[in-house]
Structure 1
Amino acid sequence: MKTFRLSESRGPHSPDVAGFFDPRTFSVQYIVTDPATRKCAIIDPVLDYDEKSGATATRHADELLAYIRDQGLEVQWILDTHPHADHFSAAQYLKDKTGAPTAIGAYVTQVQELWKGIYNWPEFPADGHQWDHLFRAGDAFAIGNLPVRVLYSPGHTLASVTYVVGDAAFVHDTLFQPDFGTARADFPGGDAHQLWRSIQEILSLPDDTRLFTGHDYMPGGREPEWESTVREQKQANKHLAGIQEDAYVRLRNRRDRELPMPKLILHALQVNVRGGRLPEPENNGRRYLKIPLDALEGAAWD
C-alpha cells in the first residue's frame, strides 16, 4: 500500500503538498511547503493510539519530523481543520518538537462547549486557549510567501475550517474522493444543510484547484487516494453530481442513519478539544481517558 505521495508545485503561489496516509485510521496528514522559502505547515497530524491496549505512540508524527528534517524545511504552523473524531491530534507533540504555533478555527469553542457537557467537565475552559491562534472565516496568513485564506466549513462539525493555500485547498472531512462521496453530518453539532453549503463554497473555487481530503476509505480495495480537483468533484462526486440541496440532505441523512459512530470518537474528542494534549497523569503516574456511557446514538449491535 502506498502511504506517501508528493503533489508538486505548479508554479508561483502553488505549494508542494506531501500527503502521509495512516491505514489504521484512514487519515491523511499533510506537509504544505513553499518551494521558494522552504517554509511549511503541518495539517491534521496524527498521534498514534491503540484502543485495545491503550498504548500511545508518535510513529506517524515522527515520520513528519523526519521528512521535514530530510527536506531542510522550517515549520511555521501546525494546523488542525477541526477536532477529529477518529484519531488523536499530534499538534501539541509537534509544537513541543518544533516550537511552531498551533492553530484551528475559532469555532472550536462551540465544540468545546458541547463536549464539555458530554464529558461532564464543569471547570473546563471552553475558550480555545489550548491553541496559539484561532482563525475566523476570511482571515489571511502566509506559509513562506504563499498566501493562505480561511473558509468556515461547518456541517460535519461545528468547527470545521478549510485552508486555501495558493492553488490547494485542505477540505478535511467535507469531501472525500469522488468515488466515495461526502462526509457524514450526524455528529453532535453536525447538519447536512450546512454541509451542503460548505461544499458549495469549496466548489466555487477555480476548477483546477487541488483538493486534499482528510480521509480515504479505499472503496473497492483500490490504493489510497486523497487528491482531486474542483472540476473532478463537480463532475463525478457520487453524492453531488446532478443533485440539488434537498435531495442531497435526504441522501446524507439516510446514509448517516446506517453508519455506526467512529470507534474512537469518545476517546479522541477529550484529547482533541484540548489541542492534542493527553489527560494529566494521576497520582500513580498514569493517564486515564474518560468514556461516558450511553452518550451517543449509533450503536452497531449486529
Structure 2
Amino acid sequence: MNPNVRSFHHSNTGTWTHVVVDPATRRASIIDPVLDFDMASGRVSTESAQRILEYVATTELAIDWILETHAHADHLSAAAWLKRQLADGSAEPAIGIGHGITTVQKTFKKKFNLDDQFVPDGRQFDALFVDGETLCVGDLDGQIIATPGHTPDSITYQFGDALFVGDTIFSPRGGTARCDFPGADAATLYRSIQRLYSLPDATRVFLAHDYPAQGEEAIAQTTIGDEKATNIHLRGDTSAADFIALRTKRDASLATPKLLWPALQVNIRGGQLPAPETRDQAFLKIPLDSKGFDT
C-alpha cells in the first residue's frame, strides 16, 4: 500500500515537513516538523507547527509517530511540542530517530559542555531505529534504511513507494548533503545513496529541504529516476572517487549553518528546550572560537 503525503514548506529554513497518511485507516506520521526560532531576539514560537495541527484536525487524522530523519543543524524540531499537543489522555505519538543519535549526542554534549543532567543515550526519544527495522502507521508498513554520511544518525523512512530521505539527497538541482559535520564521511554518503539508487526509478523521494533560486518554487518531491539522471552531485553513473572529490572541495567552501548551535542543543533533546536556569528563563549556549584573540 502506498501513502498519501501532504507536505508543508518552512520558507525561513527551506525545510519540508511531511505528513504521511494511511488512506485506509486515516492514521498518520509527521516527519521533520519545525519550531519557529528568531536568532536575533531568541523568540521561540509555533506558528509553523500550528499549521500541521490544523491539517491533522481538519482531516481527522490520528498521529502514531513523529519521526526525525536526523538531528538537523538548520532548524529547531517541533517534535516535543507536537507530541504534547497531540496527546489525548490515553495515548500520544511516539518520537523516533536513528540509533546513531547517541553518537551525535555524545559529540555535542562535549561541545556544549553539558552537565550530567543530559545523558547521551537516546532516552530523550521514544524509539531509536536501526537499519532494517520496521514500523507501522495504520496499515502502512514502514522500513528503516540507514543512510549515514551526512551525519551518523541519518536514516531514510520508506512507506510503500515513498522515501523520506532527510538531507541525504536534495532535489536534482540541489545535489547532496554536506559531509563536514562531526562523524560525517563522503564515502559513506556515496554508499548510502547507492542503496537508494538501487530502488525502482518510479520511487517517490520526499525531501527535507529545498533552496530554490529567486523566482523558483521549492520542490517537495522528486523520484529515484530523476535523481539518477540529473542530480548535479551524484548521478547514477558517478564514480565514488569523483563524488568524494567534488564533495570534499565543495564542503571546504561552505559556511556554518546559521542555526547550527541553537538547533543542535534542542534537537539532541528530541525537540525539548534546555531546562530553565532561573524560575522561567532558559538559555542556549554558543561555543566560542576565540583562538588568536588577545585576552
TM-score strictly above 0.5:
yes
Identity of aligned residues (%): 46
Question: Aligned partners of 2:221 and 2:243: how far apart in 1?
Answer: 23
Contiguous gaps of at least 5 residues in structure 2: 87-91
CA 1:96–1:235: 2 relative to 1, 3 Å: same
- Inter-partner Cα distance in structure 2 for 1:151 and 1:72: 29
Counterpart in 2 of 1:285?
A: 280
**Given the alignment of the two structures, is residue 267 of structure 1 paired with residue 262 of structure 2, yes or no?**
yes
Structure 1 pair 295–121 and aligned structure 2 pair: CA distance change class (3 A): farther
Confirm or deny: 8 A CA contact 1:156 1:191 kept in the other structure: yes
Which residue in 1 is equivalent to 2:191? Answer: 197
Distance 2:283 2:270 in 1: 17
Structure 1: distance between partners of 2:172 and 2:36: 28
For the 8 Å contact 1:176–1:226, the answer to whether it is kept is: no
Residue in structure 2 matched with residue 137 of structure 1 by the alignment: 131
Equivalent of residue 162 in structure 1, options 137, 156, 164: 156
| Shift of residue 187, structure 1, vs aligned partner | 1.1
- The one-character-per-residue Cα deviations of 1:188-227 (angstroms, maximum 9, x if unpaired) are 1111111111111111111111001110010364110020
After TM superposition, the score normalised by the length of structure 1 is: 0.92
Deviation at residue 282 of structure 1 after TM alignment: 2.0
Report the AA paired with residue 64 of structure 1: I
From 16, 32, 38, the counterpart of 1:44: 32
2:7 is equivalent to residue 19 of structure 1: yes
Q: Which residue number corresponds to residue 107 of structure 2?
A: 114
Q: Structure 1 regions of 5+ residues with no counterpart? A: 1-12, 297-302
1:215 corresponds to which of 209, 214, 220? 209
Question: Which range moves more in the overlay, 162-171 or 234-243?
Answer: 234-243
Q: Structure 1 residues 261 and 59 mapped into 2: Cα distance closer, same or farther (>3 Å)?
A: same
Q: How far did 1:284 drift?
A: 4.2
Task: Give the drift of 1:22.
Answer: 0.5
Cα displacement (A) at 1:69: 0.4
Partner residue of 2:89? Answer: none
Post-superposition CA distance 1:151-194 (Å, at most 9, x none): 11101101001000111000000111101111111111111111
SS in 2 for 1:40: strand
> 2: CA distance between counterparts of 1:226 and 1:234?
17
Secondary structure of the residue aligned to 1:289 is coil
The superposition leaves residues 216-245 of structure 1 with CA deviations (integer Å, 9 ceiling, x where unpaired) of: 010364110020111111111111123200
The separation in 2 between residues aligned to 1:75 and 1:158, in whole angstroms, is: 27
Query: Alpha carbon RMSD of aligned pairs, Å?
Result: 1.3
Name the aligned partner's letter for residue 236 of structure 1: T
Whether the 8 Å CA contact 1:209–1:229 is kept in 2: the answer is yes
Runs of 4+ in 1 over 3 A off after TM superposition: none
| 1:127-146 C-alpha deviation (Å, 9 max, x unpaired) | 00001111110001111111
Task: Tell me whether 1:180 sits opposite 2:168 in the alignment.
Answer: no
